[in-house]
Amino acid sequence: MSGGALLIAGTTSDAGKSMVVAGLCRLLARKGIRVAPFKAQNMSNNSVVTVEGGEIGRAQGMQARAAGLEPSIRFNPVLLKPGSDRTSQLVVKGHAAGTVGAADYMRYREQLADVVADELASLRAEFDVVLCEGAGSPAEINLRATDLANMGLARAARLPVVVVGDIDRGGLLAHLFGTVAVLEPADQALIAGFIVNKFRGDPALLAPGLDQLEALSGRPTYGVLPYCDELWLDAEDSVSVVARQVVGVPAPPRGQDWLRIAAIRLPRISNSTDVEALACEPGVLVRWASDPAEVADADVVVIPGSKATVADLAWLRARGLADAVAAHAGSGRPVLGICGGFQMLCRRIDDTVETRSGVVEGLGLFDADIEFASDKVLRRWQRPLSGYEIHHGRLTRCAEDGWFDADGTAQGYARGAVFGTHWHGLLDNDEFRRRWLTDAAAAAGRPGFRVADDVSVSARRDAQLDVMAELLSAHVDIGALLALLDDGPPGRPTVSTELRG
């Protein structure tokens, strides 16, 4: 099995491939197998800072944790961070390398393919198993010529491919069959089989459909994973943010009051996972908000990070949300801005980097100014609090009180019940989160709210990875997947696309 590799692809974004890779990493690591995750190219504004001081997609950070590893740029050598509908920041081996559009990307393809190939080969030489995650869907044949993460990677490295599909969306059998059928024969030959994700109901009712799928495609289904509402932390894809309103599964309050939190769902939201730590607390109801009415009845407002701070600030104003946030703060109720959200709360923003808008007025809830720089701050913090920074904006002037310190300098700021910081992951610090929630509840007029003293966000993340590993162990033919690692692509038959009479 030494140097074996497998690609987990998906019928769509958010089909579950990230969690399947994470679960397999945890499962194999438990068996003493040295395993590493790999995503050749990711498109996401949810990222983490690595041990080398670069950034990678958050899902690869989660998968590294599952494998017992620190996050490394090796696990996600190419990252695209969308700043608009047509352009993305290109991050190569952890560091920004410019802004690209779809047409520009072809020029970079060969250079990036070499980076991807070298990193994968290096990992395969070091680890027993490398579990690769695809991007989007391999059926996006219009993008096949520039593909680095799906069949382009599988073909270049001769990887067997397992396709995961989300049956909760409906039409899965057609999605699985069609994903294979639209591919050219050489790509089809690498598709070994399928995994069904998020199944609800009686498996016996699904079995005939899977038998027919195998007869039509020549490929088995390796397992059917049941729907599990415990798997919601570290949702990397913005699709999952858009699709849901409530974050997580709220637990009953420990005291008499609930604390209702409105998290603004920005169009170019980044590191949306920051609010998940709040949703872990019993009695805290976190909802995504995109209009003023959803802010009006909230106790606390959180403005998360953004890949385009000035553009999303303009959206806040156009939607009437800027006035709603200001009114909320004016009433003495808490507002928290994180990274780009913190920048929006300041008086003045000079952006010559992300949107190149120049100087614009912020919301003015902080007497502070922000200026963007071309180089990005990438930093991990470990003590006394853990967190990480990923931002172009610098705080150039601030007349506000410090909220918390690190290395003897203020890293967060407060004016009354308005709080701001560039740190991501700050609320993962359990004692810090409990103190802040207690103060926020008092300011919001919720004296009956009580924090729990037994909630550990870190433990919740590990428990989720354990759940995923156990689901895979119970419902997927792991032996068959391990055989793919040993034997390589099984050479399945080509699916004919001729019309049947």
Q: Is the pLDDT of residue 10 over 50?
A: yes
Q: Is the pLDDT of residue 359 over 80?
A: yes
Contact assessment for residue 86 and residue 102, using Cβ atoms and an 8 Å cutoff: yes
- Residue 372, classed as helix, strand or coil, is strand
Per residue in 260-319, pLDDT (tens digit) is 999 999 999 999 999 999 999 999 999 999 999 999 999 999 999 999 999 999 999 999
Amino acid at residue number 306: S
Residues 115, 109: Cα–Cα separation, whole Å: 10
3-state secondary structure 57-115: EHHHHHHHHHCCCCCCHHHCCEEEEECCCCEEEEEECCEEEEEEEHHHHHHHHHHHHHH
Report residue 321's pLDDT band, with 50, 70 and 90 as the boundaries.
Answer: very high
Q: Is the pLDDT of residue 351 over 60?
A: yes
62: number of Cβ within 10 Å: 26
Per residue in 179-198, pLDDT (tens digit) is 999 999 999 999 999 999 99
Q: Copy the structure tokens of residue 58.
A: 């958050």
What is the DSSP secondary structure assignment for residue 336, as one 8-state letter?
E
- Residue located via tokens 């494998």: 67
Contact assessment for residue 54 and residue 93, using Cβ atoms and an 8 Å cutoff: yes
Q: For the chain, give the percent of residues with pLDDT over 70.
A: 97
Q: Is the pLDDT of residue 244 over 90?
A: no
Q: Is the pLDDT of residue 500 over 50?
A: no
Nearest CA to 271 out of 61, 96, 75 is that of 61
Q: What is the pLDDT of residue 341?
A: 98
- Residue 9, classed as helix, strand or coil, is strand
Report residue 85's pLDDT band, with 50, 70 and 90 as the boundaries.
Answer: confident
What is the DSSP secondary structure assignment for residue 280, as one 8-state letter?
T
Q: Is the pLDDT of residue 499 over 70?
A: no
What is the DSSP secondary structure assignment for residue 223, as one 8-state letter?
E
112: number of Cβ within 10 Å: 20
Per residue in 21-62, pLDDT (tens digit) is 999 999 999 999 999 999 999 999 999 999 999 999 999 999
Report residue 497's pLDDT band, with 50, 70 and 90 as the boundaries.
Answer: low
- Which residues are marked as active site? 339, 424
Residue 177 main-chain phi, psi, to 5 deg: -65, -45
Instruction: Tell me the DSSP string of 166-218.
Output: EGGGS-HHHHHHHHHHTS-HHHHTTEEEEEEEEE-S-HHHHHHHHHHHHHHHS
Helix (H) or strand (E) holding 397: strand 387-398
Q: Copy the structure tokens of residue 201.
A: 């109901």
Contacts of 447 (CB under 8 A, 6+ apart): 257, 441
Q: Is the pLDDT of residue 240 over 60?
A: no
- How far, CA to CA in Å, does 500 sit from each of 216, 493, 494? 12, 18, 15
